[in-house]
Amino acid sequence: MAIARSHDLAEGDTLRRDFGWALGVVFRAYLKAANEATGTLPGGPRGHQVLEAATRQPPVSQSVIAQEIGIDRTVMTYLLDDLEREGLLTRRPDPADRRSRQVVATDKGVQRLEHLRALIARAQDYVLQDLDETDRTALRCLMQRSALKLDSLDPTAPCNVIQDITDSNCP
């Protein structure tokens, strides 16, 4: 269960108690493992996420995918170029709005994706190797809930983390 094991930590080790630090360590470890897992896939882990998005019905546009997985729209352009060149997905104009392009995984892309998922699952296991099955499920669940909430917020709005404190400090 989720019991603190603070005996692993020295008294003044404030860095390792920081949530931001833990988040960074886990994120980088995931990137490392997922990079191994995705192998030659263009874009590595990001290529995998694009491919996941490309299987959605109804199809989504480039800019929607870019926003969802947090990469710049200009980077999305050449990332899709690479994935399209490998025949894993196609871009086609949205019949309802020909400015935008729908990103659709090909059969080959779907096949590759199914293979990828097994490898990505092992990358997840690597990252969560110190947790038992119950805790893994709990962590995945809590992260997903937080992510869904954050994903629903306006990406252009500030987080307003400084307001109250500066107010109280500046009478």
Partner DNA sequence: GAATATAATCTGTTCAGCAGAACATCTGTC
Partner DNA sequence: GACAGATGTTCTGCTGAACAGATTATATTC
Instruction: Kindly report whether the peptide bond that precedes residue 58 is cis, defined as omega within 30 degrees of 0.
Output: yes
Decide: is 53 part of the binding site for its own copies (CB under 8 A).
yes
Provide the mask over 30-59, with x wherever binding to DNA is found by CB under 7 A and - wherever it is not. -------------xx-x-------------
With beta carbons less than 8 A apart as the criterion, state whether 67 and 155 touch.
yes
CB of 29 to DNA, least distance (A): 12
Q: How far is CA 118 from CA 20, 110, 112, 158, in A?
A: 29, 13, 11, 37
Q: What are phi and psi of 97, to 5 degrees?
A: -155, 100
User: Do strands 60-61 and 89-94 pair parallel, antiparallel, or not at all (unpaired)?
Assistant: unpaired
Considering only 72-80, 81-89, 95-103, 133-141, which stretch makes contact with its own copies by CB under 8 A? 133-141
Of the candidate residues 37, 41, 76, 88, the single one contacting DNA (CB under 7 A): 76
Of the candidate residues 6, 14, 63, 144, the single one contacting DNA (CB under 7 A): 63
CB of 122 to its own copies, least distance (A): 4
Task: Choose among DNA, its own copies, none what residue 132 binds, the Cβ cut-off being 5 to 8 Å by kind.
Answer: none
CB of 6 to DNA, least distance (A): 28
With beta carbons less than 8 A apart as the criterion, state whether 50 and 70 touch.
no
Task: Choose among its own copies, DNA, none what residue 124 binds, the Cβ cut-off being 5 to 8 Å by kind.
Answer: its own copies
Of the candidate residues 40, 74, 107, 148, the single one contacting its own copies (CB under 8 A): 148
The dihedral region occupied by 44, where left means phi > 0, alpha psi between -120 and 50, and beta the remainder, is left
Residues 6+ apart with CB under 8 A from 50: 43, 65, 69, 76, 79, 80, 83, 89, 103
Euclidean distance between CA atoms 53 and 105, whole angstroms: 9
Compute how many residues bind DNA; rule: CB under 7 A: 23
Question: Residues interacting with DNA, by CB under 7 A?
Answer: 43-44, 46, 61-64, 70-78, 80, 91, 97-101
